[in-house]
Amino acid sequence: MATVNLSDYKSLNITNADEYNIGIVFSEWNDFITFNLRDATLEILEKEGVKKENIKLFSVPGAFELNFATMQLCKQGTFDAVIAIGCVIRGETPHFDFICDAVAQGIKDCNVFTEVPAIFCVLTDNTKEQSIARSGGNLGNKGVEAAVTALKMIDFKRKLNQKPTHIGFGT
């Protein structure tokens, strides 16, 4: 059982976050969880300086559809990062395993096949209580972690694309 509060983080103090464009795709299935994740993500992005008008929200019916929507947004090239938000709660059939595997692989594919960081914010819990604990309950909110991850990955990519400012040894 997780014991870390997912909402604990240190401010990133990003100087140019107001330039970032971020897409958020969230599942309507288990909306009592996904809407909390979405709202926490929005709150942190705005708190860190991302302009509200630079954050675009897209809803999809369920977790499985996150793959298509996230890939389409990544392929557009208009977003610096795309955050995929969903929640799958184990039931009595293997459906849980198939959906979780497919979504994890789909979001991974967005990272492998596009130049845009795709952030996995999909809860895959055994019980509704576990999902509640991770979406604003006693363990914090995984949406906070997703927002921080998106900002860090945008920063990582931008640093990779910068030209070196110094010349190496021997030159």
Q: Which residues are catalytic?
A: 95
Number of CB atoms found within 10 A of residue 40's CB: 24
Which residues have a Cβ under 8 Å from the Cβ of 162 and sit 6 or more positions away? none
Strand, helix or coil for residue 4: coil
Residues 6+ apart with CB under 8 A from 16: none
Q: What distances in angstroms separate CA 37 from CA 30, 88, 92, 144, 160, one per listed residue?
A: 11, 13, 25, 8, 29
